[in-house]
Amino acid sequence: MATFDPQTHSGSVLLDDGLELPYDADAFGGGSLLTVRVGQRVRIRTEGTGAGLRVTFLTLATLPD
């Protein structure tokens, strides 16, 4: 987890290759999370390619979908 805004439930994730991807409240709300901490490992699903790549689902790496 790179950033997280607890008011909007949006932020960004930092991938292992260094790419930072933003996510919105819909992606955050897809899992069972109430909050996350910067630095936590998360599991994501993405959609699109290139500049259109976006996070569609986000949860902790240890939680089931």
* Structure confidence by residue, pLDDT tens digits, 6-65: 999 999 999 989 999 999 999 988 877 888 888 888 999 999 998 899 999 999 888 887
Domain locations along the chain: 3-60
Running DSSP on this structure, what letter comes out for residue 54? E
Element at 44 (helix H, strand E)? strand 42-47
The confidence score (pLDDT) of residue 35 equals: 84
The confidence score (pLDDT) of residue 12 equals: 93
What's the token pair of residue 30?
């897809």
Q: Identify the CA nearest to 11 among candidates 47, 40, 48, 38.
A: 38
